[in-house]
């Protein structure tokens, strides 16, 4: 299995190769908008907002883990956590008043009894009610063969030079669960 550690230099090709290797495990694509905007902000303010949003995402993710798997998410995280690969966009949009920071999130290892609408309701509870972020969420299932363009959509900001778009700190990969197939 392909792995990435913090010591590796991140390139758009490495990110896309990793997503391609996870393709069979990714079942949903989610976009979660935030209240943060880069409009007329300096680099220091943008970095502070990115840090705060990363903390909000971690809080929402921990909530989401508990909603999906209860205490098993803490006791056996390699089995009972969702595959969660977030990329952050909007941090370079200093001239566009309307553009907010938002996460593109690739999900997998979700209990099969849950519908896409169920997942949206759970994520909304964690993102909006718990992390106090914007109630602007989009989610769609990924059909492996027909919607592969979604795998690269979340890395489009990397093509524009923002190679830090992948949020390593909030990535979860439950290797045991994914390799049980």
- pLDDT tens-digit profile of 46-92? 999 999 999 999 999 999 999 999 999 999 998 899 999 999 998 88
Q: Which domain holds residue 122?
A: 12-178
Closest-CA residue to 153 (of 11, 6, 15): 15
Predicted pLDDT of residue 154:
66
0.75 exceeded by pTM: yes
pLDDT-derived band at 174 (thresholds 50, 70, 90) equals confident
pLDDT-derived band at 121 (thresholds 50, 70, 90) equals very high
* Positions of E strands within 78-122: 83-89, 100-108
**Radius of gyration of the CA atoms of the chain, in A:** 16
pLDDT-derived band at 5 (thresholds 50, 70, 90) equals very low
Total domains present in the chain: 1
For the CA atoms of 138, 141, 146, 148, what is the dihedral angle to 10 degrees? 70
Q: Is residue 4 part of a domain?
A: no
Q: Is residue 124 part of a domain?
A: yes
Burial 43-53 (b: 16+ CB within 10 A, else e): eeebeebbeeb
């Amino acid at each position: 299995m392909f792995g990435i550690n913090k010591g590796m230099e991140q390139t758009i090709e490495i990110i896309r190769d990793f997503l391609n290797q996870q393709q069979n495990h990714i079942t949903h694509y989610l976009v979660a908008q935030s209240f943060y905007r880069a409009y007329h902000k300096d680099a220091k303010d943008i970095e502070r907002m990115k840090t705060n949003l990363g903390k909000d995402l971690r809080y929402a993710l921990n909530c989401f883990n508990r909603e999906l798997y209860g205490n098993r998410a803490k006791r056996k995280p390699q089995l009972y956590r969702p595959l969660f690969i977030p990329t952050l966009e909007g941090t370079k949009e200093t001239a566009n008043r309307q553009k907010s920071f938002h996460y593109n999130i690739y999900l997998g290892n979700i209990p099969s009894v849950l519908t896409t609408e169920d997942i949206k309701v759970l994520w909304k509870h964690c993102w909006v009610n718990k992390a106090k972020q914007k109630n602007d969420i989009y989610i769609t299932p990924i059909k492996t063969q027909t919607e592969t363009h979604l795998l690269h959509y979340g890395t489009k900001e990397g093509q524009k030079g923002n190679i830090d778009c992948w949020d390593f700190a909030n990535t979860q990969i439950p290797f045991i669960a994914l390799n049980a197939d």
